[in-house]
A = this chain, B = another copy of it.
Amino acid sequence: MRISSKGDYGLRALFDLAQHYGKGPVQSEDIARRQGIPINYLNQLLITMRRAGLIESLRGPQGGHMLARSPETITLRDVLIALEGPLLPGDGTREDLVPGVPEDHDLIDEVWSELRAQLEAMLSRTTLDDLCQRKRQRAGSVMYYI
C-alpha cells in the first residue's frame, strides 16, 4: 500500500509536462533538472508512461516529450496505475494465495475489491490540470504579500 519513488517521480514529471502543455516537446534532461530526478531513471519512467499512452515522444534535435492528452483528462489514477501497477488485491494480485474457508476468503476478497473501487474513484478526482490551477492560485496569492 505504499507508493514508491516511481509514482512520485512520475507525477512530478507529468506535472512538469502539464505546465508546458501546448508549447511543444520538453526534453527529459530539462525535466530531470527541474524536478530533481536522476536522468537515466527518468528516461525509463518516460518510456513506461509512453507505453501507457500518457505521453508522446519525438526523437532528434528539438525532440522531447509531451502529454498525449490534455491535462484535465489525466488523473492520478492513470499515473499510478501506469507506474506502480495494480493498486490493491482483488485485481489479480492475490489470486496465488491459498483460499482457506471459502466464505471468509470471498468476503475478504470483496473488501479489497470495494476498497480498490473507492480508491480509484478517489484518485480519479484529481487531474494534472487541477495541480496546475493550484500552482497558479498559489502564485497569485503570493502576489498579495509583495
Contact = CB atoms under 8 A, between A and B. Distances in A.
Contacts of A103: 135, 138-139
A88 B5 contact: no
B126 A111 contact: yes
Interface of A: 1-3, 5, 7-9, 11-12, 15-16, 34-37, 76, 80, 84-89, 93-94, 97-101, 103-105, 107-108, 111-112, 115, 118-119, 122-123, 126, 131, 134-135, 138-139
Q: How many copies does the complex hold?
A: 2
B105 A134 contact: no
A-B interface, 5 closest residue pairs, ranked by CB to CB distance from nearest: A36-B100, A36-B98, A35-B100, A1-B84, A1-B3
